[in-house]
Amino acid sequence: MSEEAETVYVGSKPILTYVLAVINAFQRADKVKVLARGRAISSAVDVVEVARRSFIENLKIENIEIGTETVGEGDQARNVSTIAITLSKEK
């Protein structure tokens, strides 16, 4: 099992798509990082909450970070908020 965290990017697909991706990622690594930006931040929290409550009994939220990224260039550049939720499993 990899020491490095697997990453799951949350977008606009159904929540369960990403819950499944998190479950699969835990087959390959001890830590899984759930990332999202903009409107998908709410979905990322949904993904973690559904995974924790209904699918992965010993899921542990290690860390939550928020930040800002610049998207686009020149006149089109705008800031979007980001979230990174790092998950592990309680032994």
| Positive or negative torsion for Cα 19, 25, 31, 33 | negative
Please identify, using beta-carbon distances, which residue of 64 and 71 lies nearer to a second copy: 64
Provide the terminal-to-terminal Cα distance of the chain, rounded to the nearest Å: 15
Binders in 44-73 for a second copy, by CB under 8 A: 45-46, 48-49, 53, 61, 64-68
Quick one: 27 or 58, whose CB is closer to a second copy?
Answer: 58
User: Applying CB under 8 A, which of residues 11, 13, 42, 60 lies at the interface with a second copy?
Assistant: 42
CA distance 88 to 24: 13
Residue 83 contacts a second copy per CB under 8 A? yes
Distance CA 38, CA 79 (A): 9
User: Is 47 in contact with 59 (CB distance < 8 Å)?
Assistant: no
List interacting residues with a second copy (CB under 8 A): 38-42, 45-46, 48-49, 53, 61, 64-68, 79, 81-83, 85
